[in-house]
Structure 1
Amino acid sequence: MKKKIDKKISITEHYFSIKKQYNDAILFYRLGDFYEIFGEDAIKVSKILSIVLTHRGKLQNSRVEMCGVPHHSSRVYISKLLKSGLKVAICEQMESAEEAKSRGCNSVIKREVVRVFTPGTAIDDDMISNDRNNYIVSIVIEKEEIFSIAYVDISSKDFFYQSQISYQELYSVLVALHPSESLLSDKLAQDTKISHMMASMNIMMTSYDESYFSYNRSRHTILEHYSIADEKVLDIPNRTTLCAIGSIIEYIVSTQIGNMYVLDYPINRQEMSRMSIDASVIKSLELFETVERKHKGSVISTLDRTITVEGKRLLKTILLNPLCVPEDIEARLDVVEYYVQNTQKRILISELLSEASDLERLVSRFVLGYTKPYDLVLLKHELQNIISISKLMESNISNNPSLLQGIYENLSFSHELFEKLCRFVNDNIEKNADSYYVNITHHEKLNLLNEKVCQLESQVQGLMNEYRNDTGIIGLKITNNNLIGYYVEVPVKYEIKDERFIRKQGLSQVTRYTTVELIQLESEIIACKIEYKNLENEVLSELSEEVKNCSEVLYRLARNRAYLDVLISFSSLSTCYDFVRPVLDNSLSIDIIGGQHPSFLDVDNFMVNDLRFSDDNNISILTGPNMAGKSTFLRQNMMIIIMAQSGMFVPAKSARIGIVDKIFSRVGAYDNISRGYSTFMIEMVETAFILNNATDRSFIILDEVGRGTSLYDGLAIAQSTIEYLLLYSKSRVLFATHYKELSDLATKHKLISCLCLNVKVDDGKMYFTYKVKEGVSDKSYGIYVAKLAGAPKFLLERAQEILSKYELSE
């Protein structure tokens, strides 16, 4: 009986057998110095990356398309694919060709997927934005338009959840988080409103069957991940929230292929004492980007004076989560005031902060096992930077504000790890170096190996001199490359007839030889270098393990340095623009004198305005023509409140603010989440959300409510909205309108006042003063605005005739 001969599996067959396990990702298959991509993946990748598409043999009688990218520059290509909303699975060679042959002549080199890159689970600096968190969010529906969510940034260990939130609240959370990726069921992904929401914010959707989000599966994942016997330890409020938490843990762990650290217990975001900011507030304020989605011109482009990338990320978090406890706010304000008064200390610490890197994400790379040798150099510098900052802070620390003392204490740490890095890490290495990164003066074995390599290389030089003398060829030299190793090279015009020289390679200009002696020296050098490399890797592994063991301390250092950066940036901003320290209390009053919009700090002669709410007045009806400054006035007061409760000094002459728990805004109809709705329907949905969620501590901006329908319908809705807020919500409200009739409410309800934008008309010309005063605008001045816009003369004259008739009829 003949022995059965196994058919050798082809590269393409092996590729597609692995690809089946990662159908939703582009598979990068390692072949030598390249990652190869086959089939439909290759077609897709070649278009996105603009690389050549070729083919490799046939599979089932069909040509197999192929493209590839160099291994050494693959990260650039992976980053581009992630930004295109794709996942990338990295399949590496797990053995050498020789090891594969030892298993059988038809054996294919063993390969395994070692990591899956996705937009929401990447932690690498060249793949995600440095100045914002990189969140992935899991969304589970509880009942119609009621959701529970969990969201994680694995580059910073942030892990939060929210339970039983409405569709509008979900939208607000996503606008604030700006996640890169969402995890949801196939059914939910097909929901038109959800898919439109994700598309409008460019959030990649990853969807799975409903079973992925089941209670039993999620519970099992949580118990296994945290090595606990009962999920009650996490105090998760309901089953749907547990499913959101369990599904996101399972997904993240699956992308890291055995490298995932144990996440911190998730935090209930709804139990944190923070101000709630509606999505429309973030958008209408242009807090982080303009309507054109540009950073320049946004509020944060003016406010951000942070120096570190960690500080920039934290600043956004702080602005999105203002504090609601006066004592906590005052603690921040104390630090800001301290550095306003101590300019020299602020400048010196700022100089040190300018030398900082991104410690938070650096530590995450160590914890997840994606460390490069140069990361040891970065970590050493980071720890030195924190030691220097601590030394600068320690003088007279007992007399510093209590929060600053706490930051100082949290910047202290045992220097054992730092001292090891100083001993073993060689500073003078390239960023992408993978060898000679250990300082051999403190490592006896490496030092001996290095000396031995130097001796062997000296013998190679001696051999070269000997061969020159023996052959009489002055131009003879011994060198090496990665392909053929060491060789003797002579110009092509010389021919060596000495039997010791074995011809190795012939080129147009030179001929290359080897000898037994050279081969022997080469093998010794290679053996030494391999041993050297192995020893270095041992040092890297040992140091990396120590970093992992110290990770909690290192995260603490990173967060407190970032906090210090943010508070110092508040001081720098305040000093630059002469901001004032606000007073925060638990009253329901707001008293802002000489307030200014922070985006117009550099505008000369900007008109400052006042805003007052008290027990005797909590609703102000604001009238005035378009372009007179209503929108700016509305927005500047929202921004001043957010700044004050974030712990910032504010652009005003004085400010006293009774704590605000929620800020709402109904300004314009630009939200892509509401495709298919009329402008008026959007207006009503958003207004209803505000009325159903506002409290007596809320601050509300309403602009032109009721304008999307007929005159009397609109007026009726606007008046009933004000009356509801007055009788039920009892919130502090700025209500901008062109309905002058609403001003009559001020005569009926003492809690309602009227404000207007002052306009001057002289010789038929209108002048905006941008000054807010008590009273009601006498006209809407719509025709004047139309004239400024360049409307035709006929339109202006005819409009004036029609307006005169209406005014006479009244």
Structure 2
Amino acid sequence: MTEATGIVGEFFSLKEETDAELLAMQCGDFYEFFGKDAETVSAELDLKISQKSSHGSSYPMAGVPVDDLTPYLKALVERGYRVAVADQYETDSGHARELVRTVTPGTLLETSDADAQYLAAIVDGNGSAGGSSAHTSTDANYGLAFADVTTGRFLVAAAADADDALTELYRFDPVEILPGPDVRSDDDLLNRVRERSDATLTLHDTESFAPKRADNRVCEQFGTETVERLSVARPAIAAAGAILSYVEETGAGVLASMTRIQAHHGADHVTLDATTQRNLELTETMQGERVGSLFATIDHTETSAGGRLLKEWLQRPRRSLEMLENRQESVAALSSAALSRDEIRDALDDAYDLARLASKATHGSADARDLLAVQNTLSVLPALAETIASNPDLAESPLSEIIDSPDRDAARELRETLEEAIAAEPPSTVTQGELLQRGYDDELDDVIERHEAITEWLETLAEREKRQYGLSHVTVDRNKTDGYYIQVGKSAADGVPDHYEEIKTLKNSKRFTTDELEEKEREILRLEERRGDLEYELFEALREDVAAKAELLQDVGRALATVDALASLASHAAENRWVKPDLHRGDRLEIEQGRHPVVEQTTEFVPNDVRMDDERGFLVVTGPNMSGKSTYMRQVACIVLLAQIGSFVPAKEVEIGLVDGIFTRVGALDELAQGRSTFMVEMSELSNILHAATEESLVILDEVGRGTATYDGISIAWAATEYLHNEVKAKTLFATHYHELTGLAETLPRVANVHVAADERDGDVTFLRTVRDGPTDRSYGIHVADLAGVPDPVVERSRGVLERLREEKAIEAKGGSSEPVQAVFDLGSGTMQTHGQSEARSQAATTDGGSATADEPGPESDGQPLDPETEAVLAELESIDVNATPPIELVSKVQELQKRLEE
């Protein structure tokens, strides 16, 4: 077998040992891909393909330099590939390779993304991974675990049902998910997991989820007592064990950075389901952009760890009044101490991500520059402590406790060790030497001094030779071919001393060596090799020392991130006139001159009030299209959410009773790929709210029932309002164009009407953006259609039809019909009544947001009933949703109806 055959054969042999899609195999100074793998990476990364011959065959080959593998790995993993890596090592007979790790989305260490990179596992506790457990039995049927290998963070959580489990997955937004055995066999649940997440789904070894095996693995990693104190059920432990097994199997080498396991209890946090997070645009807009989200608006953090923590707070608001008041106190102190806050932020600007540096150290991939970053970041801790201590308000706030929470003595000792060890400007690789400072190690110092002495001898050799032998044009240099040499110009070459030994003749000079020069060369090479070996040994020991202190680095990193996040909230509050909300455990929610935290950044904003309590807990919000109803309701939700992360809020004065969940149903969205229409999605979201919301929740409903026939929609909205009011009793804001619902304020004691005002003069409508008490009876849909650019003929025709319908209703209201109709809704029973004329004429649907009222017969012309065909055309015209119909389709439909009327 030829060498080529050996390399290619070894590649395919190793490829069979892994389930990864791609294999990068080290061949000297390159990592090579062969066959289909080479074609794949060439297409994905634009690498050049060459051919490798093997046993009469030719194979595509593509490679990347050893030192450049990381960015290529990252790019491939981000494109969804699992990449196995095989490293080369020396043997007695030459070279061999072995698989050392498999890089997946959840085990990729080398990331520049500041966000958490969670690897998740989900277990269905109703199956084999369920059952009783010594770790406190709960009513949880699902267990989840989340690990960020880049920081060492490890969390476990329990969920009562599949919906709760999916909410937690959405909340943590993992990049890779390991579904347990029973989850993978549940096609419906697996599809829902795929719908809720863009994460890679990996089918890990089933045995890793086995309860006893997982239990032993978790106790081995974190300690039996620690695990028992978690008080979580068996499914969560099974999920945690599977993650630990997977991280170890893939060779990520970061288990040592996973120093603590924490329980994530949903009851400690405000429930924010996936729909709510999307509707409130917490971390990204509806278009998937970061800019314009609530997080982007309030994020002024200086560090990636601080930004990551602030995002976590936003996605997982808290319910603990004590914790929130502590954060508020810190934000208040920082917001009023501008100079100290600036000093803190300046200091944090020099901080690196300690948690990720700790993971790199435990993995063995941290270089000297990483350890220098650890040293510099540890220096930030005493700087922050000094600034906080020097300001009385800050010193008396919880900030002092935060900054004192890590072991500052241990942090100082590690910092001083690194200061004594790491060179001021170390190289980017750990094999080049010059990593460590003089004075760190005596033996290394001796080697360096001897090396410097020889180097000085070599540097002065040319001048000495010139003086001693009267030579001119003499230089001393070194290259890989000739080693060290003395080069003499040809004109002086005949005068060199006898002990010069010629090694090469060039065009204008000759090269010589001497016995002494060769000895010095051998000595300097020995010293360079010894220096490299000794320095690497010392550096490895230093890196291991840093790795052993991973928990300390995580503690310091967490403290710095917390101060950073609080300072960010304080900066935003100070710059935008935000105020401290008064938090309590009651029902009262009162916001004076509230503003939307994002919208106020881009436009002049009209502040509005809201008042809700145990006597006024359900607000029916009416008003024109595009007048700001949705913004008003979302700003209420955002203000409550911000208050429950400990932030100040955009308002003049705020009183907030803590909520246990925020639920929203906003806008129209279909999921056709899953076979769900807009109306089906709307009903699914409504169903989730009616099942999940509690008396302590805040519910935002924007247009329920609009996706179906008018009276179907009114009936659903009516019944949902009654259920929320009577059974759930959640604080609710419900925006609707079904003005019939405003009548509920007369029969349901906690329902109140508010409306967004508009001013209409001479046919022109001005949206005032002001919320006032009481209902409105108009939606100005045609005006909005005009603003949206609907063609003039359609707008004018719509106005004509509307005017005629209003006139006919006016005639009917005066008794023009001999057979009046009772009210469409009986406000006492909530049922629809249609007595008198035929149903087609008595159930006159709301027109342009108006309400069907008592004594309203069907449309007539000149006091006479219209023919059935005309009534049918008008009914069809009435059913058109101007806001949702594309202009071209709208024009076509109106033309069709005009033709039918003419006929």
Regarding TM over 0.5, the answer is yes
| Structure of greater relative contact order (alpha carbons < 8 Å, 6+ residues apart) | 1
Partner of 1:19: 15
Q: Return the match for 1:31 from 11, 27, 39.
A: 27
1:356 aligns with 2:351: yes
1:657 aligns with 2:653: no
Partner of 1:177: 172
The Cα shift of 1:783 comes to 0.8
Matches within 5 A, 1:592-671: 592-603=591-602, 605-670=604-669
The Cα shift of 1:473 comes to 7.4
The Cα shift of 1:667 comes to 1.0
In the alignment, is the contact (CA less than 8 A) between 2:159 and 2:165 conserved in 1?
no
Residues 593 and 524 (structure 1 numbering): CA distance in 2 closer, same or farther, change over 3 Å? same
Secondary structure of 1:801's partner? helix
Partner of 2:364: 369
Residues 672 and 136 (structure 1 numbering): CA distance in 2 closer, same or farther, change over 3 Å? farther
Segments of structure 2 that go 5 or more residues without pairing to the other structure are: 128-139, 810-855, 857-903
The number of residues matched between the two structures is 791
For 1:112, give the aligned amino acid: E
In the alignment, is the contact (CA less than 8 A) between 1:577 and 1:601 conserved in 2?
no
Secondary structure of 1:597's partner? coil
Q: Return the match for 1:451 from 445, 449, 452.
A: 449
Partner of 2:103: 117
1:728 aligns with 2:714: no
Secondary structure of 1:120's partner? helix
Residues 396 and 304 (structure 1 numbering): CA distance in 2 closer, same or farther, change over 3 Å? closer
The Cα shift of 1:639 comes to 0.6
Q: Return the match for 2:435 from 424, 434, 437.
A: 437
Whole-angstrom distance in 2 between the partners of 1:251 and 1:644: 39
In the alignment, is the contact (CA less than 8 A) between 2:282 and 2:315 conserved in 1?
no
Q: What is the CA deviation profile of residues 617-649 of structure 1, one whole-angstrom value per residue up to 9, with x for unaligned ones?
A: 111111122211011111111110011111111
Whole-angstrom distance in 1 between the partners of 2:688 and 2:769: 31
Q: Return the match for 1:205 from 201, 204, 210.
A: 201
Secondary structure of 1:446's partner? helix
Whole-angstrom distance in 2 between the partners of 1:594 and 1:669: 29
| Segment drifting more, 280-289 vs 110-119 | 110-119
| Segment drifting more, 42-51 vs 72-81 | 72-81
Whole-angstrom distance in 1 between the partners of 2:155 and 2:161: 17
Q: Return the match for 1:47 from 43, 48, 53.
A: 43
Partner of 2:119: 136
Whole-angstrom distance in 2 between the partners of 1:349 and 1:312: 15
| Segment drifting more, 719-728 vs 596-605 | 596-605
Whole-angstrom distance in 2 between the partners of 1:491 and 1:205: 70
The Cα shift of 1:178 comes to 2.3
1:426 aligns with 2:410: no
For 2:656, give the aligned amino acid: I
The Cα shift of 1:341 comes to 2.3
Residues 266 and 357 (structure 1 numbering): CA distance in 2 closer, same or farther, change over 3 Å? closer
Secondary structure of 1:10's partner? helix
Identity of aligned residues (%): 31
1:567 aligns with 2:566: yes
The Cα shift of 1:789 comes to 1.3
| Segment drifting more, 303-312 vs 591-600 | 303-312
Q: What is the CA deviation profile of residues 730-758 of structure 1, one whole-angstrom value per residue up to 9, with x for unaligned ones?
A: 10011111111111111101100111111
For 1:451, give the aligned amino acid: E
Partner of 2:535: 536
Partner of 1:460: 458
For 1:456, give the aligned amino acid: I
In the alignment, is the contact (CA less than 8 A) between 1:159 and 1:266 conserved in 2?
yes
Q: What is the CA deviation profile of residues 659-706 of structure 1, one whole-angstrom value per residue up to 9, with x for unaligned ones?
A: 111001111244759722111111111111111111101001111111
The Cα shift of 1:610 comes to 0.8
Whole-angstrom distance in 2 between the partners of 1:181 and 1:281: 23
Secondary structure of 1:288's partner? coil
Partner of 2:301: 306
Residues 129 and 189 (structure 1 numbering): CA distance in 2 closer, same or farther, change over 3 Å? farther
Residues 639 and 418 (structure 1 numbering): CA distance in 2 closer, same or farther, change over 3 Å? same
Whole-angstrom distance in 2 between the partners of 1:641 and 1:525: 70
Whole-angstrom distance in 1 between the partners of 2:514 and 2:104: 51
Residues 313 and 229 (structure 1 numbering): CA distance in 2 closer, same or farther, change over 3 Å? closer
Residues 491 and 722 (structure 1 numbering): CA distance in 2 closer, same or farther, change over 3 Å? farther
Residues 581 and 679 (structure 1 numbering): CA distance in 2 closer, same or farther, change over 3 Å? same
Partner of 2:780: 781
Structure with larger Rg = 2
In the alignment, is the contact (CA less than 8 A) between 2:669 and 2:681 conserved in 1?
no
Secondary structure of 2:434's partner? coil
For 1:378, give the aligned amino acid: A
Q: What is the CA deviation profile of residues 758-808 of structure 1, one whole-angstrom value per residue up to 9, with x for unaligned ones?
A: 111111111111111112222121111111112122212322333345443
Q: Return the match for 1:389 from 384, 391, 394.
A: 384
Whole-angstrom distance in 1 between the partners of 2:237 and 2:319: 28
The TM-score with structure 2 as length reference comes to 0.81
Secondary structure of 1:757's partner? strand
Whole-angstrom distance in 2 between the partners of 1:232 and 1:213: 19
Whole-angstrom distance in 1 between the partners of 2:507 and 2:573: 71
Whole-angstrom distance in 1 between the partners of 2:449 and 2:63: 41
Whole-angstrom distance in 1 between the partners of 2:734 and 2:187: 35
Residues 510 and 682 (structure 1 numbering): CA distance in 2 closer, same or farther, change over 3 Å? farther
For 1:57, give the aligned amino acid: S
In the alignment, is the contact (CA less than 8 A) between 1:440 and 1:447 conserved in 2?
yes
1:274 aligns with 2:269: yes
Whole-angstrom distance in 2 between the partners of 1:7 and 1:782: 78
Whole-angstrom distance in 2 between the partners of 1:513 and 1:193: 79
Residues 164 and 603 (structure 1 numbering): CA distance in 2 closer, same or farther, change over 3 Å? closer
Whole-angstrom distance in 2 between the partners of 1:377 and 1:214: 43
Residues 261 and 34 (structure 1 numbering): CA distance in 2 closer, same or farther, change over 3 Å? same
Residues 550 and 444 (structure 1 numbering): CA distance in 2 closer, same or farther, change over 3 Å? same
Partner of 1:337: 332
Partner of 2:703: 704
Matches within 5 A, 1:95-114: 95=90, 100=91, 103=92, 107-114=93-100
Whole-angstrom distance in 1 between the partners of 2:704 and 2:225: 54
Partner of 2:414: 417
Whole-angstrom distance in 2 between the partners of 1:55 and 1:723: 73
The Cα shift of 1:176 comes to 2.6
Residues 501 and 326 (structure 1 numbering): CA distance in 2 closer, same or farther, change over 3 Å? same
For 1:38, give the aligned amino acid: F
Whole-angstrom distance in 2 between the partners of 1:546 and 1:419: 13
In the alignment, is the contact (CA less than 8 A) between 2:176 and 2:199 conserved in 1?
yes
| Segment drifting more, 786-795 vs 600-609 | 600-609
The Cα shift of 1:83 comes to 1.6
In the alignment, is the contact (CA less than 8 A) between 2:592 and 2:609 conserved in 1?
yes
The Cα shift of 1:90 comes to 2.8
The TM-score with structure 1 as length reference comes to 0.90
Partner of 1:215: 211
Segments of structure 1 that go 5 or more residues without pairing to the other structure are: none
For 1:155, give the aligned amino acid: T
Residues 435 and 656 (structure 1 numbering): CA distance in 2 closer, same or farther, change over 3 Å? same
For 2:704, give the aligned amino acid: V
In the alignment, is the contact (CA less than 8 A) between 1:397 and 1:405 conserved in 2?
no
| Segment drifting more, 489-498 vs 680-689 | 489-498
The Cα shift of 1:258 comes to 5.0
For 1:119, give the aligned amino acid: P
Residues 528 and 751 (structure 1 numbering): CA distance in 2 closer, same or farther, change over 3 Å? same
Residues 451 and 88 (structure 1 numbering): CA distance in 2 closer, same or farther, change over 3 Å? same
Residues 511 and 802 (structure 1 numbering): CA distance in 2 closer, same or farther, change over 3 Å? farther
The Cα shift of 1:86 comes to 1.8
In the alignment, is the contact (CA less than 8 A) between 1:705 and 1:737 conserved in 2?
yes
In the alignment, is the contact (CA less than 8 A) between 2:332 and 2:570 conserved in 1?
yes
For 2:98, give the aligned amino acid: E
The Cα shift of 1:57 comes to 1.4
In the alignment, is the contact (CA less than 8 A) between 2:587 and 2:614 conserved in 1?
yes
